[in-house]
Structure 1
Amino acid sequence: MSEAPRLPIAAACALGALWTLPNTLLGLIAGVVGIAFGAHAHYSHRDLAIVFHRWPWGPGGAITLGNAILHTGDTLDSPCLTYAHRAGHGEESEILLADHERAHVYQYMALGPLFLPLYLLCGGVSVRNRFERAADRYARHGSGWWPWARPPQK
């Protein structure tokens, strides 16, 4: 890729990170508290996020807050089931947790402080939530992270 296209992408990423900074600060505070209980952090360029692994609370899996990902396991590159599959809405192949959470990072960067209220209005952590379905879609296909995007036609 030439330098010309990289500059606008980098600028968009920087603006998105700034726009979602209040959410990221929540994630960083929670992550730093987790470090006191055994979590460790690193920056993931691929995921555009600071990832806190072995975060000690929660039912397992991960939660994204802006450009911070709190993860209970050792690596985001682990397979997981889609929300639809877990809810019995059909058989779907496993996805990578990293891809699912990266979609949430993109959603946060686009919506900034509007993300959390919209996410909760759409149903919170559930198969009905368009944000979760879009993150699963992105993890399966590598596109379609926008919650109001049309699903690919079969």
Structure 2
Amino acid sequence: MCVGILWTLPNTVLGLLGGAAGLPFGARARLNGRERALVFHRWPWGPGGAITLGNVILHTGDTLDSPCVTYAHRAGLYEEPCIMLGDHERAHVFQYMVLGPLFLPLYLLCGGISVRNRFERAADRYARTGRGWWPWPA
């Protein structure tokens, strides 16, 4: 785990800068061991929800223990039950810790924030089942 944290440090630094920028506007930082991340709650920008950068989660709400719909459900592809936002974001933390500085370019090449993105589908799968956060078949 320590190697993964060091490997994704450049991404974490971006998250720390973003989180720090939100502090004067009401963001609150809290270390979350379950998510293996520093979470900035009440982050003041964005459409709502959360974004993960390394071992930092920028979250617009008060708690990651909140239900949300999957990307496939939102796109109308499947009728799926709600997942927990923290579980989805934890999958991204794991993905970052394996891929390090390669995560963001690969994520963007796979479609960015969309249902087509294998990283998002894997994070939704992990949030639904507790397994399968890796975005490629084993």
| Aligned residue in 2 for 1:148 | 136
Cα distance in 1 between the residues matched to 2:77 and 2:137: 20
| Aligned residue in 1 for 2:122 | 134
Cα distance in 1 between the residues matched to 2:5 and 2:31: 14
Q: CA RMSD in A?
A: 0.6
SS in 2 for 1:70: strand
Cα distance in 1 between the residues matched to 2:13 and 2:24: 17
- Give the drift of 1:114: 0.1
Q: State the Cα deviation string for residues 55-77 of structure 1 (Å, max 9, x = none).
A: 00000000000000000000000
TM-score, scaled relative to structure 1: 0.89
Cα distance in 1 between the residues matched to 2:16 and 2:122: 24
Among candidates 53, 56, 74, match of residue 41 of structure 2: 53
- Unaligned residue ranges in structure 1 (runs of 5+): 1-12
% identity of equivalent residues = 75
| Aligned residue in 1 for 2:74 | 86
After the TM superposition, which parts of structure 1 deviate over 4 Å for at least 4 consecutive aligned residues?
A: none
SS in 1 for 2:105: helix
Equivalent pairs counted in the alignment come to 138
- Unaligned residue ranges in structure 2 (runs of 5+): none
| Aligned residue in 2 for 1:100 | 88
Q: State the Cα deviation string for residues 86-119 of structure 1 (Å, max 9, x = none).
A: 0000100000000000000000000000000000
The higher radius of gyration belongs to 1
TM-score, scaled relative to structure 2: 0.99
- Give the drift of 1:149: 2.8
SS in 2 for 1:60: coil
Is 2:118 the counterpart of 1:121?
Answer: no
Cα distance in 1 between the residues matched to 2:24 and 2:13: 17
Q: State the Cα deviation string for residues 101-138 of structure 1 (Å, max 9, x = none).
A: 00000000000000000000000000000000000000
Amino acid across the alignment from 1:117: P
